Amino acid sequence: MHTHITQSERPLLVRIKQHVRAFALAAAVIVSAAHAHAQGCIAIKQMGDDSCSLDGLMAPTTEKWDLNVSYEHFRSHRHFSQTNQNFSRYYLGSEVINNVDQLDAAVNYQLNARTSFTLDLPYFSATRSSLYEHDGKNRYTTSAAGIGDVRLVAQRWLFDPHSDAKTNVAIGLGLKMPTGDANAQDVFHTKTGDVTHAVDQSIQPGDGAWGYTFQLQAYRRLFARTSLYATGFYLVNPKETNDTRTTSAITSFTAYNSVADQYQARLGVSHVFLPKYNFTASLGARLEGVPALDLIGGDRGFRRPGYVVSVEPGFSVAGKHDSFSFSLPVVLVRNRIRSASDRLGKGAGDAAFADFLISMSYAHKW
């Protein structure tokens, strides 16, 4: 991708490069930081539109491959039942605290200007400290780490991204493979002694089932260096439950962990402030969550459904072959909605949410 446009270049080429660069660099912020991040006890795992290719948005190039390596971190501890925060958990010191680190490597192959294929390999590491999972009085920590669920995605732009079209839409279809451990175990210090069993669903590296992803990217150029962006993502998990025994709230309905659907939607604006240095800033809104009822399949099993709404500022810098991006989604709304099992009774469970997410990414093209 060129970093400077001279006066001698043809007007059409100038316009194409200006427009493509404006959105391409914004997309480096938007897409590379777009993993559907686990937001605490709501088990949303690295399953976002990071698999969407950036190449289709960039200036014409002979390079066919790119590697994107991203890292995310968050700490969740604020408990909510629906939209009501349970302050008593903090005052009593009984809050559950998840610390999650996620590393993700995505290799993309550009078949042509409109079609690409991506293989995405996530790595997941998390700790969870609580009282209730142990003896109820002392805080102990459990952990899990390992490869997550690998996915393969094919994406197609409706129009040639190298044209001067002001609007474009990309559709992606993917396959999620159950490569991550859905039954990671650790030692729990109970009143009757130490026992070993599965860690909480929210820190399991995988969900134990095959899934199918549907995703969307779209942009609209407003001015030479300003664009609107939108992305959407939905993971369909047809399998109802996996083989991991639930460690809390065990009934015939919730005896095993649910294999839940996931979703994400994002909308925002980006602007290239320093074209010479390819510095782009973006600001958007983001919705992500786990539904109470799946699109396909049953809804038995233990799950903590809910969603978060965040404001997402970010920036990106890029050269011809390399780019770096950073974003900081800050949560505005948290809602632990009622699950299918909650609806069988009169109550509603709670879940811990993070305040913000730290996300950074490095990409290289060759």
pLDDT of residue 67 exceeding 80: yes
CATH number, position 146? 2.40.128.130
- Convert the pLDDT of each residue in 305-349 to its tens digit: 999 999 999 999 999 899 999 999 999 999 999 999 999 887 788
5 pLDDT above the threshold of 80: no
- Identify the helix (H) or strand (E) that includes residue 93: none
Residue 6 lies in a domain: no
Report pLDDT for 46. 52
Q: Is residue 3 part of a domain?
A: no
2 within a domain of the structure (yes/no): no
| pLDDT tens sequence across 268-284 | 999 999 998 899 999 99
Among the listed residues 16, 110, 121, the one whose alpha carbon sits nearest the alpha carbon of residue 54: 110
More confident residue, 21 or 275: 275
Token pair of 111, please?
Answer: 């078949």
HEC-encoded secondary structure of 127-188 = EEEECCCCCCCCCEEEEEEEECCCEEEEEEECCCCCCCCCEEEEEEEEEECCCCCCCCEEEE
* Domain contains 18: yes
H or E element at residue 242: strand 241-245
Mean pLDDT, rounded, for 184-193: 97
- pLDDT for position 248: 66
Whether 214 is in a domain gets the answer yes
Mean pLDDT, the chain, whole residue set? 86
In a domain, 325, yes or no: yes
Q: Is the pLDDT of residue 208 over 70?
A: yes
Q: Is 123 exposed, middle or buried (0-12, 13-18, 19+ CB in 10 A)?
A: middle
Within-domain flag for 4: no
Q: Is pLDDT at 98 greater than 60 in this prediction?
A: yes
**Percentage of residues of the chain with pLDDT beyond 90:** 76
Closest CA to 21 of 314, 223, 231: 223
Q: Where in the sequence is the domain holding 51, given as residue range(s)?
A: 11-365
More confident residue, 12 or 56: 12
Is pLDDT at 22 greater than 70 in this prediction? no
In a domain, 31, yes or no: yes
Residue 55 DSSP symbol: G
Q: pLDDT value at position 16?
A: 40
The confidence score (pLDDT) of residue 55 equals 35
Average pLDDT over residues 155-167: 89
- Structurally, how many domains does the chain consist of? 1
